[in-house]
Chain A
Amino acid sequence: KQEVTQIPAALSVPEGENLVLNCSFTDSAIYNLQWFRQDPGKGLTSLLLIQSSQREQTSGRLNASLDKSSGRSTLYIAASQPGDSATYLCAVRDTNAGKSTFGDGTTLTVKP
């Protein structure tokens, strides 16, 4: 059974800092990995999708990497802003039935 872990559970940084969020998964036979953002009481906004054959994806100030063999992904946020404050979730799809298995998330607070 796939297990997804995210470290740290919470992170507080001053505005402008670069930061890295970590995601690990137990079964490396994944189809893709998706990073989401969740604001309090709200839905899930897709940030980046990395296919199993890819090593990284970039969107603006966000860069996600994937090391399938070691079961790890990182989300790098450059020049953090208070508006980046949210919970970041990592999810892997590991069968062609397509369900996602989620981590607990990392709650990020960016202080002005």
Chain B
Amino acid sequence: EPEVTQTPSHQVTQMGQEVILRCVPISNHLYFYWYRQILGQKVEFLVSFYNNEISEKSEIFDDQFSVERPDGSNFTLKIRSTKLEDSAMYFCASSERSAGGQTQYFGPGTRLLVL
């Protein structure tokens, strides 16, 4: 069964450094998402992406964050200058279309630790 993949599985970085989290969505999917889960808290929506542009973003997704689909397969989340509070599990998801009953498929996550 097709699946969403994410790399790296774990990333440790120093505060202030830039990180790029990578995702390969399911190949025929058109809608892409990033979520995060701070340890012990809810899964929170960050951003959705369709047709090479952001379709929605949350208040968490400030100027320090950006997303890109640099080629036909990868979908990336960049954090420009990491803060301690960015430490979380970051999940990528994709779906075939956003309306109606389409399942969101989630990747295994990247655990980011900012020191």
Contacts and interface: CB of A to CB of B under 8 A. Distances in A.
Q: How large is the interface on B (under 10, 10 to 19, 20 to 34, 35 or more residues)?
A: 20 to 34
Nearest to A49: B103
Given A42-B109, A103-B42, A49 B101 contact: yes
Interface string A54-68: 100000000000000
A74 interface: no
B105 A46 contact: yes
B101 A32 contact: yes
A103 B93 CA distance: 17
Interface residues of A, number: 29
18 contacts: A31-B100, A32-B102, A36-B106, A43-B107, A44-B91, A46-B103, A46-B106, A49-B101, A91-B43, A91-B104, A93-B104, A96-B99, A98-B104, A99-B33, A101-B45, A102-B42, A103-B42, A104-B42
Given A36-B106, A43-B108, A52-B100, 19 more contacts: A31-B99, A32-B100, A41-B111, A42-B109, A43-B91, A46-B106, A49-B103, A54-B101, A91-B43, A96-B98, A97-B48, A98-B33, A98-B95, A99-B45, A99-B56, A100-B35, A100-B104, A102-B44, A103-B42
